[in-house]
């Protein structure tokens, strides 16, 4: 316990009131110096009182800022609020000082129970038909995200900040969402216009000082002010309190309708601490609130302000936070623009310029950019020169940025963007100890993350998984289960390497809001697997579309949820039996077949799924021909996509699902019969008929002569040009090698050429966009070869083809010189010795 003789009061009677700027490193240093000088018997901090029991965890070695206090409604976990803290936050410094000196620390702001319930009441009031829209610009309370700064020399971003960053269900909306709704009796004397005018104290003070940039003013008067030789460590707080008093006198509550209730609760907490500890108390709060805490009010008046406030049952814990979420650019109503820079100022008060530019140089070198010591020296000189020219005591972030751009980045903003992202903002993710309270699902997730060595990181990264390895397969299952639960930690992306089903690529990035999603998902179970199973069963029972159920079946296989599959399969069978839309059936089939292939690599028993897929395919076969009749161009193009998807699915479904099973090979024969029907019906749009002919040709069901005959019929003079062009698009359009088909088949190219030259001039402009779309997807070399063949004309094409069987567009004779050039490589591959007399590769090119 501190010695009373060391106690020093702030100017004026009463406790020591330390008005700070939330997330201000200068405020943090000043708070530490003031606490060391005053040695109070208790420290009161702006924050939710429910977090008092969590304060001791701040001393845990495993606790690494940035972290946040998370409060959520017990019956509605998605309704939540955050109070973020970084190592340079004055509140964090105060908490740590109290723990190190064994001094009681307490939070005295409005309880989170009121904050969350107030948010809900305001949303319901805003949604009511006869109520006025809430004043979204005047919320103060939700700014937990650190801090809508109450600024210690006011925080430039919504100084009111003591309020948490609240998030309504499924949203992270902070402080700005709070409607103009105050506690009973708080607005009687406040004009409506004044209540709606939200004041930024930092901006007001900067403007009064002649600055157009509040951040620059704050750096000049606080961050760059030498504090080592400060005679009176309390003087800055006295100056800030005087400035805030003037602002409060001019602006009242400054448009923050919840402030009267919050400040009333703070005063009640302060009085309770005074009764227990006397006057030897330090209060760390946003500077905006200091005049209100000094105001003379009665206990009855303060209690009247809190009377009738809504209340909700809440839980609270510590969660990891990130630098990005401390920045206002991330979408929160409170915070700072450059948390990485502020952290640097706090941790490197001596020689901040040299140390910062050294860090920048190290980052650029890691990215293989040439940065020498001379670059750093010149950048330091330039930054200091710019500061002198601009009349600043020390180079600020603006001068640093200009110097880095000019010297280290050679005038380019591209590497400068990397510096801003990685250093100015930063990609730090905090850590909380295992002892922190958590819902059972969160604890199980933590165990799985440790078991699979899959650590959450704030920096986005790609993870390549080989599903043949047990650890990678477990990681895949965990990520898929979390996706089922709505916890989007990872997102599957297309692999740049192997396309086999045993490969998966994920893009991972942990966001603080995911902790809320985990709490929300806790209603489904206490383990990740159990919760995902329950969620899948519920989604299957309430799914509206057949494709949703088939996609769910695929997700269940990917997530390894065998207990959920029977329920999903029953729902799938029921939906498939009732759904008569062929488009829906065709859309659902590919997902089922993909699930079969994924199940194969994961060793899952998918026989029941294969039977359902086969039955679904049969229904598609029966209903597809009538469904393809009399379609307009847009519907025909959509149906073409369904035909391609079903063709791919049938090809996979016809193979044995697992070793030893016969598969469903008869489906391929049935499917080809359906395609023949489509190819021969005049009522089917040309794009579908052409596509059916092309698939049959690729499958070997049609020979080139028969395909040429069908093309001739489709391109005959009696066919409308638009329908003929659509047929061509279906036959040779897309990325399926249609261009090479025309290059290698003289008759087909001749038919297209003859039809195109015979199109009437009036119709040519109508079919030209369709033809351009068809041929524009070809590779440049293919288009060039087709153009050369067409330019030659029919006679020259035949002459150029050489002997029968020669490939069009290529010479008739072999190029022996080029053939001989590959012989050394071929000998190496085959292990032949060129000195052996029986080496029959010699002269092979001749």
DSSP letters for 6-40: G--PPSSSSSEEEEE-TT-HHHHHHHHHHHHHH--
- Percent of the chain scoring above 90 in pLDDT: 25
681-714 pLDDT, tens digit per residue, is 888 888 898 889 888 888 888 888 888 888 888 8
Are 306 and 406 in the same domain? Answer: no
pLDDT category at 653 given cuts 50, 70, 90 is confident
Within a domain: residue 697?
A: no
Region of poorest pLDDT, from 500-514, 518-532, 712-726, 789-803: 789-803
pLDDT, mean over the chain:
78
Q: Which residues contact 632 (CB under 8 A, 6 or more apart)?
A: none
pLDDT category at 144 given cuts 50, 70, 90 is very low
CA distances in angstroms from 207 to 215, 216, 217, 829, listed in the order given: 11, 11, 9, 78
311-347 pLDDT, tens digit per residue, is 889 989 998 888 888 865 343 335 678 899 999 989 8
Mean pLDDT, rounded, for 630-656 = 82
The CA distance from 237 to 697, in Å, is 84
226 and 164 Cβ atoms separated by less than 8 Å: no
Within a domain: residue 542?
A: no
* Residue where a domain stops, chosen among 333, 368, 386: 333
Are 403 and 278 in the same domain? Answer: no
646: nearest Cα among 707, 729, 583: 583
User: pTM (2 decimals)?
Assistant: 0.67
Region of poorest pLDDT, from 99-108, 159-168, 209-218, 638-647: 159-168
187-227 pLDDT, tens digit per residue, is 333 334 444 457 778 888 888 878 877 878 877 787 766 55
Within a domain: residue 775?
A: yes
- Percent of the chain scoring above 70 in pLDDT: 79
Cβ-count burial 585-620 (b if 16+ within 10 Å, e if not): bbbbbbbbbbbbbbbbebebebeebbebbbebbebb
Partnered with residue 105 across adjacent β-strands are 43
484 and 543 Cβ atoms separated by less than 8 Å: no
741 and 732 Cβ atoms separated by less than 8 Å: yes
The CA distance from 793 to 34, in Å, is 93
Q: In 472-536, which ranges are E strands?
A: 490-493, 503-508
Mean pLDDT, rounded, for 439-465 = 88
Mean pLDDT, rounded, for 534-555 = 85
pLDDT(16) > 50: yes
pLDDT value at position 604? 58
Region of poorest pLDDT, from 131-135, 136-140, 716-720, 807-811: 136-140
Are 158 and 257 in the same domain? Answer: yes
End-to-end CA distance of the chain: 100
71 and 8 Cβ atoms separated by less than 8 Å: no
pLDDT value at position 170? 38
Q: Tell which wins on pLDDT, 592 or 378.
A: 378
Within a domain: residue 264?
A: yes
pLDDT(403) > 90: yes
265: nearest Cα among 316, 313, 307: 307
Give the H/E segment covering residue 367.
Answer: none
Q: Tell which wins on pLDDT, 148 or 631.
A: 631
pLDDT(612) > 60: yes
Tokens coding 59: 């001393």
pLDDT value at position 429? 86
pLDDT value at position 220? 78
pLDDT category at 812 given cuts 50, 70, 90 is low
Cβ atoms within 10 Å, residue 500: 12
Are 323 and 459 in the same domain? Answer: no
DSSP symbol at 523: G
Mean pLDDT, rounded, for 157-178 = 40
Within a domain: residue 18?
A: yes
pLDDT value at position 177? 32
448 and 478 Cβ atoms separated by less than 8 Å: yes
- How many domains in the chain? 5
pLDDT category at 726 given cuts 50, 70, 90 is confident
pLDDT value at position 841? 55
Relative orientation angle of helices 686-698 and 704-714, to the nearest 10 degrees = 170
Mean pLDDT, rounded, for 813-818 = 74
Handedness of CA 548, 552, 553, 554 (dihedral sign): positive
Are 147 and 52 in the same domain? Answer: yes
125: nearest Cα among 195, 196, 179, 57: 179
The CA distance from 432 to 719, in Å, is 72
pLDDT(738) > 90: no
* Residue where a domain stops, chosen among 393, 426, 459: 426
The CA distance from 354 to 813, in Å, is 71
Within a domain: residue 845?
A: yes
46-96 pLDDT, tens digit per residue, is 999 999 999 999 999 999 999 999 898 888 887 888 899 999 999 999 999
Q: Which residues contact 516 (CB under 8 A, 6 or more apart)?
A: 70, 72, 77, 78, 80, 167
Mean pLDDT, rounded, for 609-634 = 83
694: nearest Cα among 741, 744, 634: 741
pLDDT value at position 372? 93
Are 301 and 418 in the same domain? Answer: no
Are 201 and 310 in the same domain? Answer: yes
DSSP symbol at 806: P
Q: In 23-85, which ranges are E strands?
A: 42-45, 67-73, 76-85
Handedness of CA 610, 611, 616, 618 (dihedral sign): positive
Are 196 and 319 in the same domain? Answer: yes
pLDDT value at position 813? 66
Q: Tell which wins on pLDDT, 90 or 829.
A: 90
Within a domain: residue 117?
A: yes
Mean pLDDT, rounded, for 223-236 = 70
Are 187 and 315 in the same domain? Answer: yes
pLDDT value at position 5? 36
748 and 705 Cβ atoms separated by less than 8 Å: no
Are 33 and 117 in the same domain? Answer: yes
Are 87 and 230 in the same domain? Answer: yes
Within a domain: residue 680?
A: no
DSSP symbol at 375: H
* Residue where a domain stops, chosen among 491, 524, 557: 524
655-690 pLDDT, tens digit per residue, is 554 444 444 567 888 888 999 998 888 888 888 988
333 and 163 Cβ atoms separated by less than 8 Å: no
Q: Tell which wins on pLDDT, 257 or 414.
A: 414
Are 717 and 746 in the same domain? Answer: yes
CA distances in angstroms from 682 to 193, 234, 678, listed in the order given: 71, 91, 9
pLDDT value at position 331? 35
Residue span of the structural domain in which 838 resides? 814-846
pLDDT(594) > 50: yes
164 and 145 Cβ atoms separated by less than 8 Å: yes
Please tell me whether the peptide bond between 728 and the residue prior to it is cis, using omega within 30 degrees of 0. no
pLDDT value at position 225? 66
pLDDT value at position 42? 94
């Amino acid at each position: 316990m501190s010695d009373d003789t060391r106690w020093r009061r702030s100017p004026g009677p009463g406790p020591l009131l330390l008005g700070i700027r939330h997330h201000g490193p200068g405020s943090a240093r000043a708070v530490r110096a003031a606490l060391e000088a005053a040695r109070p018997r208790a420290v009161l901090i702006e924050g939710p009182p429910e977090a008092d029991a969590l304060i001791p965890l701040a001393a845990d070695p495993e606790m690494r800022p940035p972290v946040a206090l998370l409060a959520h409604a017990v019956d509605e976990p998605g309704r939540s609020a955050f109070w973020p803290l970084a190592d340079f936050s004055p509140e964090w410094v105060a908490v740590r000082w109290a723990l190190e000196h064994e001094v009681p620390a307490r939070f005295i702001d409005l309880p989170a129970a009121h904050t969350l319930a107030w948010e809900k009441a305001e949303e319901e009031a805003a949604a009511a038909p006869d109520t006025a829209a809430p004043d979204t610009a005047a919320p103060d309370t939700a700014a937990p995200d650190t801090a809508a700064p109450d600024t210690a020399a006011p925080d430039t971003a919504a100084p009111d900040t003591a309020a948490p960053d609240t998030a309504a269900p499924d949203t992270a909306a902070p402080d700005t969402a709070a409607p103009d709704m105050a506690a009973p009796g708080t607005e009687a004397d406040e004009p409506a216009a004044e209540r709606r005018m939200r004041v930024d104290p930092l901006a007001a003070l900067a403007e009064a000082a002649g600055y157009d940039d509040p951040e620059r003013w704050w750096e000049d008067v606080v961050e760059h002010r030498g504090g080592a030789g400060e005679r009176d460590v309390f003087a800055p707080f006295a100056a800030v309190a005087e400035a805030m008093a003037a602002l409060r006198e001019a602006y009242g509550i400054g448009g923050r309708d919840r402030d009267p209730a919050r400040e009333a609760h703070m005063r009640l907490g302060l009085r309770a601490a005074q009764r227990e500890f006397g006057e030897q108390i330090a209060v760390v709060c946003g500077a905006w609130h200091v005049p209100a805490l000094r105001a003379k009010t009665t206990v009855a008046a303060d209690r009247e302000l809190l009377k009738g406030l809504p209340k909700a049952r809440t839980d609270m814990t510590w969660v990891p936070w990130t630098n990005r979420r401390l920045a206002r650019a991330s979408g929160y109503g409170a915070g700072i623009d450059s948390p990485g820079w502020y952290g640097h100022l706090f941790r490197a008060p001596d020689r901040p310029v040299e140390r910062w530019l050294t860090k920048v140089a190290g980052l650029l070198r890691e990215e293989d950019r040439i940065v020498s010591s001379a670059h750093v020296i010149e950048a330091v000189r330039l930054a200091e020169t710019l500061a002198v020219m601009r009349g600043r005591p020390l180079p600020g972030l603006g001068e640093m940025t200009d110097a880095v751009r000019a010297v280290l980045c050679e005038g380019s903003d591209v590497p400068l963007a990397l510096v801003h992202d990685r250093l100015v903002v930063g990609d730090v993710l905090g850590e909380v100890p295992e002892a922190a309270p958590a819902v059972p699902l969160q604890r199980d997730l933590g165990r799985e993350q440790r078991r699979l060595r899959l650590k959450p990181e704030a920096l986005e990264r790609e993870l390549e998984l080989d599903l043949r390895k047990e650890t990678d397969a477990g990681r895949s299952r965990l990520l898929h289960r979390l996706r089922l639960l709505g916890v989007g930690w990872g997102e599957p992306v297309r692999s740049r390497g192997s396309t086999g089903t045993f490969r998966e690529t994920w893009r991972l990035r942990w966001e603080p809001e995911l902790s809320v999603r985990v709490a929300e998902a806790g209603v489904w179970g206490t383990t990740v697997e159990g919760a995902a199973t329950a969620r899948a069963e519920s989604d299957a029972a309430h799914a509206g579309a057949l494709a949703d159920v088939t996609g769910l079946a695929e997700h269940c296989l990917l997530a390894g949820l065998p207990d959920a599959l029977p329920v999903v399969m029953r729902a799938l069978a029921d939906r498939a039996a009732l759904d008569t839309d062929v488009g829906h059936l065709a859309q659902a089939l590919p997902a089922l077949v993909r699930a079969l292939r994924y199940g194969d690599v994961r060793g899952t028993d998918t026989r029941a799924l294969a039977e359902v897929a086969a039955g679904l395919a049969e229904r598609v076969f029966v209903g597809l021909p009538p469904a393809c009749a009399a379609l307009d161009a847009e519907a025909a193009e959509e149906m073409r996509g369904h035909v391609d998807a079903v063709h791919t699915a049938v090809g996979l479904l016809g193979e044995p699902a697992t070793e030893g099973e016969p598969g469903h090979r008869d489906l391929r024969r049935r499917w080809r019969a359906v395609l023949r029907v489509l190819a021969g019906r005049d009522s089917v749009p040309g794009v579908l008929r052409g596509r059916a002919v092309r698939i049959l040709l690729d499958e070997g069901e049609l020979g080139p002569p028969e395909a040429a005959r069908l093309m001739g019929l489709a391109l005959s003079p009696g066919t409308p040009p638009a329908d003929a062009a659509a047929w061509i698009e279906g036959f040779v359009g897309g990325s399926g090698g249609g261009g090479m088909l025309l290059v290698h088949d003289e008759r087909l190219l001749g038919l297209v050429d003859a039809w195109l030259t015979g199109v009437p001039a009036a119709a040519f402009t109508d079919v030209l966009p369709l033809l351009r779309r068809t041929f524009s997807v070809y590779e440049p070399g293919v288009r060039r070869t087709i153009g050369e063949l067409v330019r030659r004309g029919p006679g020259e094409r035949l002459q150029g083809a050489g002997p029968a069987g020669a490939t069009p567009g290529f010479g008739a004779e072999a190029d022996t010189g080029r053939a001989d050039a590959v012989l050394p490589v071929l000998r190496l591959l085959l292990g032949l010795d060129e000195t052996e007399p029986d080496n029959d590769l010699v002269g092979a090119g001749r």
